[in-house]
């Protein structure tokens, strides 16, 4: 089955969502799809649709307005999925720390697997982050109980996300 697992992680589809970024990191995420960086050679395609996505590339601090939307997008993504927080704002919301309309980093709302620092994060750094995310995804795919056997795994994951104590 190792061959099957290897084949399964060869098509990570991306969902890119801006939770309130200045667009600096967004431009760098979009640069990944251009011929210069061409992430499609890893089978990555920007699907812009949570229902088709495997890897969530999120940029910007989570504003109070985008919190619900971020949660919805995360819940709509079928597992196994990986979350990558791109940029300083997404990792801990730095310049907007303690701001009245900002919740903080992405991990205040949903669990994050990979943090990519930088303001704005370089495309090379995002590629590094995504490669790390693919290895994380591989672990998740391997750990996943076969869907036909049990459907308990993804549900538990969702419960931990929706728990209010996740927010300090």
Partner 1 sequence: MSDLELMVLTILVGILTPFAIGLLIGIDRKITARMQNRVGPPVLQPYYDLIKLFGKERRAMNSSQTVFAIACMFLQLAAFVLLVTGGDLLVVFFVSSTGSFSLALGAFSAHSPFSYFGAQRELLQILAYEPIVFMVIVAIGFRERTFLAGSVAHDLLFVLPLALIALLPVLVIKMEKSPYDIATAHTELISGPYVEYSGTYLAITKIAHWFDLAILFGIMTLFFWDQNIWISIGIKLLIILAFFFTAIVIDNTTARLTRNRMVKFTLAFGLALTAGNMLILFLADQGVFRWP
What is the binding site for partner 1 (CB under 8 A)? Answer: 4, 7-11, 35, 38, 40-43, 47-49, 51-52, 54, 78-80, 141, 144, 147, 151, 154
Pick 115 or 137: Cβ nearer partner 1: 137
The helix (H) or strand (E) run that includes residue 155 is helix 152-162
Residue 20 in tokens: 């309130």
Q: Is residue 82 within 8 Å of 132, Cβ to Cβ?
A: no
For residue 77, the minimal CB distance to partner 1 (Å) is 8
Pick 151 or 159: Cβ nearer partner 1: 151
For residue 70, the minimal CB distance to partner 1 (Å) is 18
Pick 38 or 68: Cβ nearer partner 1: 38
Cα separation, 122 vs 129, whole angstroms: 11
Pick 4 or 165: Cβ nearer partner 1: 4
CA atoms within 13 A on the CB side of 16: 19
For residue 115, the minimal CB distance to partner 1 (Å) is 25
For residue 26, the minimal CB distance to partner 1 (Å) is 16
Query: Around Cβ 92, how many Cβ atoms within 10 Å?
Result: 17
The string of DSSP letters for 50-72 reads TTT-SEEEEES-EEHHHHHHHHH
For residue 37, the minimal CB distance to partner 1 (Å) is 9
Pick 73 or 102: Cβ nearer partner 1: 73
Of 125, 54, 55, 58, nearest to 91 by C-alpha is 58
Residue 36 in tokens: 């210069």
């Amino acid at each position: 089955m190792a061959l099957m697992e290897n084949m399964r992680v060869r098509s990570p589809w991306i969902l890119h969502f801006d939770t309130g970024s200045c667009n600096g990191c967004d431009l760098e995420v979009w640069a990944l799809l251009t011929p210069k960086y061409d992430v499609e050679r890893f089978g990555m395609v920007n699907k812009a649709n949570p229902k088709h996505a495997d890897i969530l590339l999120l940029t910007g601090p989570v504003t109070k307005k985008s919190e619900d939307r971020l949660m919805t997008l995360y819940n709509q993504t079928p597992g196994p999925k990986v979350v990558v927080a791109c940029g300083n704002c997404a990792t801990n919301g730095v310049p907007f720390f303690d701001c009245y309309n900002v919740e903080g980093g992405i991990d205040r709302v949903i669990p994050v697997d990979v943090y990519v620092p930088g303001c704005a994060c370089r495309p090379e750094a995002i590629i590094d982050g995504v490669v790390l995310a693919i290895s994380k995804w591989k672990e998740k795919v391997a750990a996943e109980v076969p869907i036909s056997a049990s459907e308990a795994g993804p549900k538990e994951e969702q419960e931990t996300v929706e728990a209010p104590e996740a927010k300090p």
